[in-house]
Amino acid sequence: MGVVRSSVAVSVFLASEPPQLGGLTQAPVQSVPPRPVVTTIGPISGPTAGGTEVEIGGDALADATAVFFGVKPAQSFTLVSAAGPIRAVSPSGSGAVDVTVTTSGGTSANTSLAQFVDADPDPPVVSGLNPTSGRAAGGETIQVFVTAVNVTGSELVIDGGWTAQ
């Protein structure tokens, strides 16, 4: 017995008896959907707590049934249009993981084009004050210079729990 793959529908004749005795029946061959291919993701990193919306581009994504970040399923995902892309929300994790998509055609292969890194940003660093000294009673305006990379939603708290304005 042999296996023939075809991208078009064909008919197959099965015979339980020789054709001379009317033993032919016709059965359609089911075509196998293509395996999905992930070619782009963005952004390529997010916090370890998860929750980053990641756009996934590629081929044969239309009937996605699951999206994985490593072995963890996405918190949620939606197909933006029939041709893609997919928008998925990353789960919690740490380190680099492959993003894969599962469809009726199978699961996309791991590729360096679809790696997502769970990493928390470095904390902000105070790099300077102006003025560098003041009265003990306080009440002065000071400038605080902060160096930060990819920090969002942070607030600066001054010694004693006072929130900067």
The predicted pLDDT at position 149 comes to 54
Please check whether residues 103 and 84 belong to one and the same domain: yes
Please check whether residues 108 and 58 belong to one and the same domain: yes
Contacts of residues 50-53 at CB distance under 8 Å and 24 or more positions apart, as own/partner, are 50/75, 50/89, 50/90, 50/91, 50/92, 50/93, 50/118, 51/75, 51/89, 51/90, 52/89, 52/90, 53/87, 53/88, 53/89, 53/90
The predicted pLDDT at position 74 comes to 98
Please check whether residues 105 and 142 belong to one and the same domain: no
Look over the chain and give the mean of its residue pLDDT values, rounded to a whole number: 81
One-letter amino acid for residue 43 of the chain: P
Q: Does 130 reside within a domain?
A: yes
Which tens digit of pLDDT belongs to each residue from 3-59? 555 555 555 555 555 556 555 556 667 788 999 999 999 999 999 999 999 999 999
- Under DSSP, is residue 19 helix (H, G, I), strand (E, B) or coil? helix
Please check whether residues 58 and 102 belong to one and the same domain: yes
Please check whether residues 78 and 143 belong to one and the same domain: no
Domain range for 154: 125-163
Q: Which residue in the block uniquely carries the two structure tokens 């004749």?
A: 13
Please check whether residues 132 and 71 belong to one and the same domain: no
Please check whether residues 113 and 85 belong to one and the same domain: yes
Q: Mean pLDDT lowest for which of 80-94, 126-140, 142-156?
A: 142-156
* Percent share of the chain, pLDDT over 70: 72
Domain containing 104 — which CATH number?
2.60.40.10
Please check whether residues 45 and 112 belong to one and the same domain: yes
- Under DSSP, is residue 114 helix (H, G, I), strand (E, B) or coil? helix
What is the number of structural domains in the chain?
2
Q: Does 98 reside within a domain?
A: yes
* Percent share of the chain, pLDDT over 90: 48
- If phi > 0 it is left, if psi is from -120 to 50 it is alpha, else beta; for residue 34 that is beta
The predicted pLDDT at position 94 comes to 92
Q: Which residue in the block uniquely carries the two structure tokens 């304005």?
A: 165
Write out the two tokens for 107. 């699961």
